[in-house]
Structure 1
Amino acid sequence: MLLATDEDGKHMNEMDIADKILGLLIGGHDTASAARTFIVKYLAELPHIYNEVYKASGIAIAKAPGELLNWDDIQKMKYSWNVGCEVMRLALPLQGAFP
């Protein structure tokens, strides 16, 4: 951004650069935190779904301390993935993020 120029050969001013960086930071943070918030909300309201997600988390709990999930583990957790997708369908993470 510091070296980029527009069609007239002008560089971005500091305020424009700061605005773009802030937009990236907020865009990456707010959407993820909103999605997590709505997932927790729906899991609290729907205990039968929470129980299924909890069962799937047994895969992660069975891992040794410090051992990460691998792709096979994630593939086995389809119900949790589907819950996340459905929550984002019902409650868009970006709603209200822009004036």
Structure 2
Amino acid sequence: AKDRFGLELQRLPMPEPLYLEEEERNLPASYANFYIGNKVVLLPVFEDPMDKAAVDIMSSHFPGREIVPIVARELVYGYGGIHCVTQQEPAERG
């Protein structure tokens, strides 16, 4: 499928839902919260049967980069992900 700009859309699988019982809420576990570096893609994985499919899909879309799976369960317990924790930090003016 393509979007309105003609860009190809790729579906990513979803891991099994992670649930935080103390707060009675689902956690934001998603393979889409990845980070693209110069030679790598840091891909969150969740010790889930769908992890391999996500790695394979990302490998096909980033052929020049190494796909580095990183277990991200602890990050989603804090309501974040790999892309979230790699956000830019502005430089000081001066």
TM-score (norm 1): 0.25
Structure (1 or 2) with the larger CA radius of gyration? 1
Indicate the structure with greater helix content. Answer: 1
Indicate the structure with greater strand content. Answer: 2
TM-score (norm 2): 0.26
